[in-house]
Amino acid sequence: MNLYLFQQDLRIHDQALLNKALHDGPVIGLFIFSDSWFSKDKNGIVKKDAFYLSFIYQTLLCLNHQLKTLNVPLIIKKGVPKHVLEEIISTHNITSIYFETLPGYEERLLYSTLQSFGLPTVTDQMKSLYKTHALPFEIKDLPFVFTQFRKQIERLPKTFNENLDLIPQEKISIDSFIPNPDALGIKFIQHELIPGEKAALKHLHTYLFEKQLAKTYKETRNGMLLFDDSTKFSAYLATGTLSVRKIMNQLSLYEKTHTKNESTYWIYFELLWRDYFYYVHLQYGDRIFSKNGLGNENSTSDNPSFIQTWMQGNTGYPLIDANMRQLNQTGFMSNRGRQNVANYFTKFLKQDWRIGANYFESKLIDYDVSSNTLNWLYASGLGNDPRENRMFNYITQGERYDKHCHFIDTYLPELKHLPNHLKYKVSELSEKERQDFNIHAYPKPIKRFYNR
């Protein structure tokens, strides 16, 4: 019996490795909710919080439905991965293990465990548009600046082979095992973005061909509130319910049959950023998790009050607070929001970027270890193409990207009595003005930022 270990590839389309497992003999699928996901760090941050766990669980329900069409049972377990694997290998007489290789530290520990069982393993690389052997350079020679990388990659073909439909195996006498969410310690949450492969494929088609939003993406992508402001592909990519090659092929089709412009290019551009961070992770390994990242000495302070206030969205700066509350209430934050809250946390409050990255890992439904970590390094001036002294203006950023204050009206009801032209400047109001506008419920700044 072959074992397919599902990780961040929760789909059956464009699934070359699962295809090989099916071809090689009977196969069962396994997904593990690691006990470590439910533990907290010294700052009280649980590794995987409710929104992420719920999104993954519902994605797995869809995967189970998809796998049934292939007669592949899916087993979901919670526990210490080594112990779970030992149980599955023994119970089902596993002879080979199939899994995608990912660069994360915890993933590599898991792979070491798999190798220790002494069974044959079959692996593949499916996360990126281009496998490393197809790149025009060795990973060790990856350009340190994204623009140099992009210019070389843009010369490569932009049409990708997708694995054909999988052929079902003969039925086997093993049933799927899908515990209810309570048994796993997971709260079932209704998500605005519907989890699962079927929903992902439908969303891709709707975004490109029904709503035709790709042609205006560059104009809307900095929006922070509306569902259609951005592609919303990230959570599907992070869980592997949507193949990046599928997205690129469909985007190319849209450009051929509808519109090709700067906006459609920008979607491709951001998929290249995702690939780039994946390759940087491969290049530097665990160094990306160090306090200094890829940069020089990183001087930080340790202020637990700042950390907790930032996490709660009570800093006294509306742009920061609204974004953090959106994250806490939905498991999502826009790219514009992420840039600002990361810049505020590392550059203005001067806190250790790793704490902020850990909080994002806990909360985001689209968490991806490579993209999350290297975006935080970039924001803190410790990553690729560093801008060490870059600090945003959190007042003017809000006024620019939320001109009508719809975003902060949604997440900061304490400011509803304040005129729009003052909402992002609330940190500059006098005590009398705060009283006059009845905004005593909104916190004063934990640290004064001087608007410039």
CATH number, position 89: 3.40.50.620
13 and 104 belong to one structural domain: yes
271 and 320 belong to one structural domain: no
Digitized pLDDT (tens) for each residue of the chain, 452 residues in all: 999 999 999 999 999 999 999 999 899 999 999 999 999 999 999 999 999 999 999 999 999 999 999 999 999 999 999 999 999 999 999 999 999 999 999 999 999 999 999 999 999 999 999 999 999 999 999 999 999 999 999 999 988 988 778 999 999 999 999 999 999 999 999 999 999 999 999 999 999 999 999 999 999 999 999 999 999 999 999 999 999 999 999 999 999 999 999 999 999 999 999 999 999 999 999 999 999 999 877 889 889 999 999 999 999 999 999 999 999 999 999 999 999 999 999 999 999 999 999 999 999 999 999 999 999 999 999 998 766 678 999 999 999 999 999 999 999 999 998 999 999 999 999 999 999 999 989 999 999 876 55
Task: Note whether residue 389 is domain-resident.
Answer: yes
Task: Note whether residue 167 is domain-resident.
Answer: no
429 and 309 belong to one structural domain: yes
349 and 239 belong to one structural domain: no
- Final residue before a domain boundary, out of 102, 126, 150: 126
319 and 426 belong to one structural domain: yes
- Its domain, for residue 33, covers 1-126
19 and 57 belong to one structural domain: yes
Token pair in block for residue 449: 């930022």
pTM: 0.96
407 and 345 belong to one structural domain: yes
Picking from 376, 366, 373, 402, the residue whose alpha carbon sits closest to that of residue 52 is: 366
- CATH classification at residue 149: 1.25.40.80
63 and 203 belong to one structural domain: no
> How far is it, in rounded angstroms, from Cα 355 to Cα 346?
10
214 and 262 belong to one structural domain: yes
Task: Note whether residue 191 is domain-resident.
Answer: no
Token pair in block for residue 346: 């590392």
- CATH classification at residue 368: 1.10.579.10
Token pair in block for residue 85: 């694997």
Task: Note whether residue 446 is domain-resident.
Answer: no
pLDDT of residue 11: 98
- Final residue before a domain boundary, out of 76, 110, 126: 126
96 and 137 belong to one structural domain: no
Task: Note whether residue 299 is domain-resident.
Answer: no
133 and 256 belong to one structural domain: yes
| Domains contained in the chain, number | 3
- Final residue before a domain boundary, out of 234, 266, 289: 289
Task: Note whether residue 295 is domain-resident.
Answer: no
361 and 385 belong to one structural domain: yes
Task: Note whether residue 179 is domain-resident.
Answer: no
Which one-letter amino acid corresponds to residue 301? S
SS (H, E, C) 72-111: CCEEEEEECHHHHHHHHHHHCCCCEEEEECCCCHHHHHHH
